A = this chain, B = another copy of it.
């Protein structure tokens, strides 16, 4: 059934790397197939279209991350509602870093793809994610809300999207920021170090009391 390594897999592996680095529209099928060492037409044969390839690339990560994240959230001291926001966000570190075992640089690739998906493709990838992984997202939102009960649901909606923006933009610029940090402050952070830096920032922002005046 499979010639050498599965053609489908070779395409996905090459595509996710290029998509994360350069964005979807800046990455041509010809570049993907040449890096993957497969024929140009095989993308349309196996995936139908470029748009569906993009979805498949994202789904391959989400199908690993989402269930794993839900398990960690539910496991929090056997009672997620008593966990702090820092603990809840930190519970996502393990599922995120496990993506590095799936593929080299998997964590940062996943987060960059997520950001590209939300910004580039005007809305239809956001729709794909929120509908296909609704239960997992609800689990997460419920846990966060329970641990910050002073934040009304509408305000929490906005703050969680602020949080998504924070992490996703950070990871999209991670390489550039790391270079500057190394040059200016002698710092050398890997993906995990950056995630551990950003969690307190996000947790503090989500929990800050709403201004009433």
- Assess whether A158 is in contact with B197, with CB atoms less than 8 Å apart: yes
How many identical subunits does the complex contain? 2
Taking CB atoms, residues of chain B closer than 8 Å to A39 are none
Interface assignment of A115: CB less than 8 Å from any CB of chain B: yes
- Report the Cα distance A206→B166, complex, angstroms: 12
Counting chain B CB atoms within 10 Å of each CB, which of A115, A120, A123, A126 scores highest? A120
Tell me how many residues of A have a C-beta within 8 Å of chain B. 49
Instruction: Determine if B184 and A173 form an interchain contact, defined as CB atoms under 8 angstroms apart.
Output: no
Query: Which secondary structure characterizes the binding site on chain A?
Result: helix
CA distance A52 to B179 in the complex (A): 26
Cβ-neighbour of A166 out of B123, B169, B180 (below 8 A): B169
CB contacts under 8 Å to B, within A156-213, are 157-159, 161-162, 164-170, 172-173, 176-177, 180-181, 184-185, 187, 194, 197-198, 200-208, 210-211
Enumerate chain A interface residues (CB-CB to B < 8 A).
22-23, 25-26, 115, 118-120, 122-123, 126, 153-155, 157-159, 161-162, 164-170, 172-173, 176-177, 180-181, 184-185, 187, 194, 197-198, 200-208, 210-211
